[in-house]
Amino acid sequence: MGPGVDGWEVSLKGMMGIVVLLGLVITSIYWGVNKLVLNDPSLPKSDHKKKKNKPKLSMKESMKVLISSKYVRDLATLVVAYGISINLVEVTWKSKLKAQFPSPNEYSSFMGDFSTATGIATFTMMLLGRIIFQRFGWGVAAMITPTVLLVTGVGFFSLILFGQPLTPLLATWGMTPLLAAVYVGALQNIFSKSAKYSLFDPCKEMAYIPLDGDMKLKGKAAIDVVCNPLGKSGGALIQQFLILIFGSLANSTPYLGGILLVIVLAWLGAARSLDKQFSSLAKEDLRKEMSKEKVETAAPKEPESATDVLVEQSNGTENSPSDSSPAQ
Give residue 104's pLDDT: 83
Q: Containing domain of residue 222, as a range?
A: 67-291
d(C-alpha 46, C-alpha 38), whole Å: 11
Give residue 50's pLDDT: 56
Q: Which residues are CB-neighbours of 309 under 8 A, at least 6 positions away?
A: none
Q: Is residue 141 part of a domain?
A: yes
Q: Which residues are CB-neighbours of 135 under 8 A, at least 6 positions away?
A: none
Q: Is residue 44 part of a domain?
A: no
Q: Is residue 309 part of a domain?
A: no
pLDDT above 70 covers a percentage of the chain that reads 82
Give residue 92's pLDDT: 87
Greater model confidence, 277 or 232: 277
Q: Is residue 16 part of a domain?
A: no
| Cβ pair 156, 89 in contact under 8 A | yes
Number of domains forming the structure of the chain? 1
Give residue 306's pLDDT: 47
> What distances in angstroms separate CA 292 from CA 281, 288, 289, one per listed residue?
17, 6, 5
pLDDT tens digits along 262-298: 999 999 999 999 888 888 877 776 676 667 666 667 6
- For residue 286, count CB atoms less than 10 angstroms from its CB and return exposed for 0-12, middle for 13-18, buried for 19 or more: exposed
Q: Is residue 154 part of a domain?
A: yes
d(C-alpha 184, C-alpha 171), whole Å: 16
Residues in the chain: 328
pTM of the predicted model over 0.85: no
Q: Is residue 316 part of a domain?
A: no
> What distances in angstroms separate CA 287 from CA 208, 210, 282, one per listed residue?
18, 12, 9
CATH code for the domain in which residue 83 is found: 1.20.1250.20
pLDDT tens digits along 74-111: 888 999 999 899 888 888 898 889 989 988 888 888 98
Whether the pLDDT of residue 323 is over 80: the answer is no
Give residue 319's pLDDT: 47
> What distances in angstroms separate CA 246 from CA 253, 256, 262, one per listed residue?
10, 12, 20
Greater model confidence, 50 or 309: 50
| Cβ pair 185, 156 in contact under 8 A | yes
Q: Is residue 152 part of a domain?
A: yes
d(C-alpha 317, C-alpha 311), whole Å: 10
Q: Is residue 269 part of a domain?
A: yes
